[in-house]
Structure 1
Amino acid sequence: MPDGRSILKDGSASEATLAHVAMLYYREGLTQGEIARRTGVSRATIVNWLRLAREQNVVDIRIRGESFAASPLARHVAERFGLVDVYVAHGDADPLPPSAMLDRTAALGAQAMRDLLDDGDRLGVAWGETVLRMAKTFPTAQLPGLMVHQLIGSMYADQLFAAETCTIEIARRLGAGCRTLHAPAILSSGDLAARLRKEPVIAGQLAAFSGLTKALFSVGDVSDRTTLVAAGIGTTEDVAWYRERGAAGVLSCHFIDHDGQPMTGPLTDRTIGVAPEVLRNVPLRMLVVSGEEKLDATRALIRGGFVTHLVTDEASARILLDS
């Protein structure tokens, strides 16, 4: 039984008490009622303490990401497209709202990547809403030998899914080093971008991408609502130009056609970030994506050889398998 002094006057519990209760519940398998009787508090209090233990990271509940790659659906998609592994986030009996399904897929992506990371890895992180949702749910760890690299330059946007936000949060949760990219994602002219790429600091950061061991990214569609436009680093006119010429998706600010090949256009020379050919050479490349509107872009990235590991929702996985 925890020392009575660990229960504070307001009824809350010390970290030691939360850890003790969590150990009884998760490791020793006692029921909430049994713990309540043992500690001399109500069952409702135990329920609250277990919640606090999770929220305060006293206990870190992990489900092995590889378990989600063991389903027949995941194996069939991997075999169909020649991928190393596919992880499928399953839905409920009643369809989830798109945002809830995206949350579930992003959390699975975070867990899957955490399981694959080793101390000493060099992880490249892209940006966007999906990547930010992953960043917020990454299991905590202490990997001081891991270095997390921002793959695309910074942006001025009200949204919180900017590239540096995603990179810093993942590095923080993993106890890792962090290298942000100190340049805008899109410059006003190709000449200015070229000069910036030659600056020693920027040149060194870009050169470091060739040493990445793993990469984590999502993909944007080519609608007028794509994240590129939402973040204020591209216009609807820019997107329309690429879309009219066969673009299927946007990968780290680079437009990709339906065959999975990078396209040259008005934004190409103005972009500062990882080059598509460099990203394609990273040994482990994880795409995390949810929603039917991203299927064309997903197929394109797979065709282009950008993906070794895919994390997606069940409905998208079934459509991919049937296509």
Structure 2
Amino acid sequence: MAKAQADRIVHKAAWLYYTHGLRQDEVAQRLNISRASVALYLRRARETGIVNISTATHLFRGEQLAREVEDKFGLEAVWIAGEDLAAGEAEAEIPSLGASVFLEMVGRGQRVGIAWGRTVYAIADVMSFADLEGVTVVQLCGNLGAPYSYRPDQCTMEIARRLNARGLNFYAPLVLSTPELASALRSEPVIREQLDSVAGCDLSLYSVGTLDEDSHVVKCGALTANELAQLRKQGGAGVIAGQIIDRSGRLLDCDYNRRVISADLESLKKIPRRLTVVQEESKLAPLRAALAGGFCTHLVATAAIARGLLAGG
């Protein structure tokens, strides 16, 4: 066996045994080798440093960091990526970690609410395929005409496809031209029924948006950069399901929010498990607002974000 191929099978055996928790006979069956070979490869992995038991201390630091965030913000569970990675590398790990956590949380027959954005679509893009009987994936906010892959309907339907689930799109725009038109549309029976059903979801998945020029509400054309700057002056701190919230996590009293077609924020908070996934450290302030508003029960974030949360007041 060539050296490169031998090294790969040692890595694979160690990965299956130590990371995925397979027994030695299960590793042997998976790799189509003998159990004696598995034992040999695991010993070689330890001797050559492929597996280093001292890495448990790094795992503990990550776990300790997660527990501290849970305790400070009263969260049910927190997963931390990149305790020993550079910022960019840690951010790159978030979609895969978020997808794994999400799949562990989804149960058969459940109703799942999905918001939108680059992080949510990145999660959908790396999510493993699963066959979950009776799952319904629901779009939480109105749609956009902008040709972005991470628009709300795309996020919803891609996750539904990965789960082999039923997808329910929201056939209304995210933002209308006047508050009166938005109010009338919300009163339409088909839209009212979908908005009212949000509180009946078992699980939600979303990220938080910033209020800067890179914000998805700017890039999709819902707001201009100048309009967003004015909303910051009025106390805007972040975006949840297309809506602007203040630093306390309350819906900002502004013309934009009155023109939005999206799940009522109180309905979002009635969803029992609310998974929030955050990649960029620039989203620390919006995440603080979301936590203050009670929009998060489960969190996936980088170690840098976790430390930022703990350092704040």
Whether TM exceeds 0.5 here: the answer is yes
* Paired position in structure 2 for 1:72: 64
Alpha-carbon contact 2:179-2:255 (below 8 Å) kept: no
2:214 aligned with 1:225, yes or no? yes
Contact 1:68 1:89 in 2 (8 A): no
Secondary structure of the equivalent of 1:255? strand
Aligned to 1:295: 284
Higher helix share: 2
The answer to whether the Cα contact below 8 Å between 1:68 and 1:88 also exists between their aligned partners in 2 is: no
The alpha-carbon distance between structure 1 residues 68 and 201, as it changes in their structure 2 partners (threshold 3 A), is: farther
Deviation at 1:92, TM superposition (A): 4.7
In structure 1, the gaps of 5 or more residues are 1-24, 36-66
CA distance in 1 between counterparts of 2:115 and 2:237 reads 18
Q: Calculate the TM-score normalised by the size of structure 2.
A: 0.79
Where does residue 28 of structure 2 map in the other structure?
29
User: Does 2:266 match 1:277?
Assistant: yes
Matched position secondary structure for 1:29: helix
Letter in 1 for 2:240: L
| Mapping of residues 97-112 of structure 1, within 5 Å | 97=88, 100-112=89-101
| TM-score normalized with structure 1 length | 0.77
In 2 relative to 1, CA 315–207 (structure 1 residues): closer, same or farther, beyond 3 Å? Answer: same
Q: Distance in 2 between matches of 1:256 and 1:28?
A: 49
Q: Does the alignment pair 1:167 with 2:153?
A: no
Q: Residues of 2 paired with 1:252 and 1:68: CA distance? A: 34
Q: Does 1:118 align with 2:104?
A: no
Note the alpha carbon deviations across 1:73-110, whole angstroms, 9 max, x for none: 111111111110001112555x253xx53331121111
Matched, 1:252 2:254: no
* 1:278 CA drift (Å): 0.9
For residues 241 and 206 of structure 1, the distance between their equivalents in structure 2, rounded to whole angstroms, comes to 28
- Cα shift at 1:33: 11
Q: Does 1:236 align with 2:228?
A: no
Q: Does the CA-based 8 Å contact 2:62-2:83 persist in structure 1?
A: no
Partner of 1:262: 251
The answer for the alignment partner of 1:6 in structure 2 is none
Shift of 1:29: 3.3
Q: Which residue number corresponds to residue 319 of structure 1?
A: 308
Q: Which runs of 5+ in 2 are unaligned?
A: 1-23, 35-58
Superposition deviation, residue 265 in structure 1? 0.4
Match in the other structure for 2:78: 86
> What root-mean-square deviation, in Å, do the aligned CA atoms of Structure 1 and Structure 2 show?
2.4
1:309 corresponding residue in structure 2: 298
Q: Give the distance between the partners of 2:273 and 2:157, measured in 1 at CA.
A: 21
Q: Aligned-pair distance for 1:246? A: 1.5
DSSP 3-state at the match of 2:141? coil
For residue 185 of structure 2, the aligned residue among 168, 187, 196 is 196
| CA distance in structure 2 between the aligned counterparts of 1:235 and 1:201, rounded to whole angstroms | 30
* Identity across the alignment (%): 36
**Within 2, Cα distance between the matches of 1:73 and 1:171?**
33
Within 1, Cα distance between the matches of 2:109 and 2:33? 43
Q: Which moved more, 1:101-110 or 1:270-279?
A: 101-110
2:137 aligned counterpart, secondary structure: strand
- Between 1:75-84 and 1:163-172, the stretch displaced more is 75-84
Query: How many residues end up aligned between the 2 structures?
Result: 266
CA contact (8 A) 1:171 1:178 kept: yes
Q: Deviations over 1:243-264 (max 9, x none)?
A: 0012111111211111111111
TM superposition shift of 1:282: 0.9
- Aligned partners of 1:144 and 1:177 also within 8 Å: no
